[in-house]
Chains A and B, each alone.
Chain A
Amino acid sequence: MKEKDNRPVYLNPLATDLPIIGVSSILHRISGFSLFSIFLVSVWMLDRSLSSEQEFITLVKDLNNLFVLKLIFYLFLVGLLYHSLLGIKKLMSDAFGIGEELKSGTLISWSFNLIFLFIAVFLFSKLFI
């Protein structure tokens, strides 16, 4: 029988100094997971809206008035935006080898993150201000 290894292993991802490319990759995954979670809420909303005319009217009213629903919609939009933008970056790298050097990869990651921030702030102002 294999003996249990009691030796400690040092591992603290939060204390790891990751380049922006790594941070973006992690955020890309988080945005993908969030999209999936919010997608489940969307399916629930669709199901609710189709159950009866009254439910549909209530749901539309809720979407216009409830801050939480508006926020979920905003999060869905920014999640989709981030996932798509970083997905394009990944495609550029996989298909054309663009951004495979640390310098070019860093530059492209910063560019896509800045574009995302700009659009996310714009959407926020349109929806909430």
Chain B
Amino acid sequence: MNTTIPLEEVKNVTLSIYRFDPGKDKKAYMQDIEIEVPANMDLMVLDALLLAKKKETSLSFRRSCGEGVCGSDGMNINGKNGLACVTPLSEAVKRNKLVLKPMPGLPVIRDLIVDMKQFFDQLEKVKPYLITKDEAPEQERKQSPEEREELDGLYECILCGCCSTACPSFWWNPDKFLGPAALLQSWRFIADSRDQATEERLDDLDDAFSLYRCHGIMNCVSVCPKGLNPTEAISNIRKKLINRKS
């Protein structure tokens, strides 16, 4: 099948992409790559990147499912973090230009690929798994529909890192402030009726940095590709800590 697009039906878009090859470059730089996209259909930013990669084969970025489920292709798209696979070009392109940079604040491995170690280290600290003290029941730990509902808006996080890397508090203290993604996960387990380690979890968060560095600027909410609200989760933990003290 011939997939060449007739010339009159295409428009040019310039992708300005952050480039860094640790084997070649001492410093990162921006490279402009011009691509042709169909004028009559809306591609996603990931499709545009794939077109750019055809021209510049050394261009590197993570991707996997291509439909906003795996969270691999988080990047900074025209100043705002998002997943390339679910961000339409029509929303992202400004004056025929699209600026793509890696997620802010994390060390760049190559081009748009960042080292997520800091992010996952913080996630590990909140013990993102169910902790129980009772003996395991024969079949399963039951929850009422209402108790299960408490987890809506929390369990859907795909750990893409868009929120934490858009948070200024995380930029300045990536090793001390847990960041919105980890704190959302923390609340996900504190709010879980089956979890039996609420006190220990709250103890771990009760210091000046882990939780209280959040100043509620809501950039995490603004960039979350799944429409989740880490600010609200952080506020819920804060209330729980304050109620515990009083």
Which residues of A line the B interface, CB within 8 A?
5, 7-13, 15-19, 21-22, 25-26, 90, 93-94, 97, 100-102, 105
**Size class of the B contact interface (CB-based, 8 Å):** 20 to 34
B1-9, B20-28, B137-145: which one contacts chain A? B20-28
Contact of B171 among A11, A21, A94, A100 (CB under 8 A): A11
Contact of A7 among B103, B107, B231 (CB under 8 A): B107
Shortest beta-carbon distance, B138 to chain A, in Å? Answer: 40
Contact of B219 among A18, A90, A94, A101 (CB under 8 A): A18
Which residues of the partner chain A approach B229 to less than 8 Å between Cβ atoms? 100-102
- The CA of A43 and the CA of B241, in the complex, are separated in Å by 39
Asked if B217 is at the interface (CB within 8 A of a chain A CB), the reply is yes
Structural contact, A16 and B217, CB atoms closer than 8 A? no
Structural contact, A8 and B235, CB atoms closer than 8 A? no
Asked if B215 is at the interface (CB within 8 A of a chain A CB), the reply is yes
Asked if B104 is at the interface (CB within 8 A of a chain A CB), the reply is yes
Structural contact, A5 and B107, CB atoms closer than 8 A? yes
Q: Which B residues between 89 and 132 are near A, CB-CB below 8 angstroms?
A: 101-109, 115
A15: nearest chain-B partner, CB-CB: B79
Q: Given that A16-B166, A17-B80, A101-B232 are known contacts, is A8 also in contact with B218, CB under 8 Å in the complex? A: no
- The CA of A102 and the CA of B221, in the complex, are separated in Å by 7
- The CA of A101 and the CA of B168, in the complex, are separated in Å by 19
Asked if B87 is at the interface (CB within 8 A of a chain A CB), the reply is no
- The CA of A110 and the CA of B9, in the complex, are separated in Å by 41
- The CA of A94 and the CA of B215, in the complex, are separated in Å by 10
Structural contact, B101 and A25, CB atoms closer than 8 A? no
Which residues of the partner chain A approach B20 to less than 8 Å between Cβ atoms? 8
Shortest beta-carbon distance, B171 to chain A, in Å? Answer: 6
Structural contact, A102 and B76, CB atoms closer than 8 A? no
Q: Which B residues between 1 and 40 are near A, CB-CB below 8 angstroms?
A: 18, 20, 22, 27-28
Which residues of the partner chain B approach A11 to less than 8 Å between Cβ atoms? 104-105, 171
Structural contact, A10 and B102, CB atoms closer than 8 A? yes
Structural contact, A10 and B80, CB atoms closer than 8 A? no
Structural contact, B216 and A8, CB atoms closer than 8 A? no
8 contacts between A and B (CB under 8 A): A7-B108, A9-B105, A10-B105, A12-B104, A17-B79, A18-B222, A25-B215, A101-B232
Q: Given that A8-B20, A10-B104 are known contacts, is A102 also in contact with B166, CB under 8 Å in the complex? A: no
Which residues of the partner chain A approach B60 to less than 8 Å between Cβ atoms? none
Structural contact, B104 and A102, CB atoms closer than 8 A? no
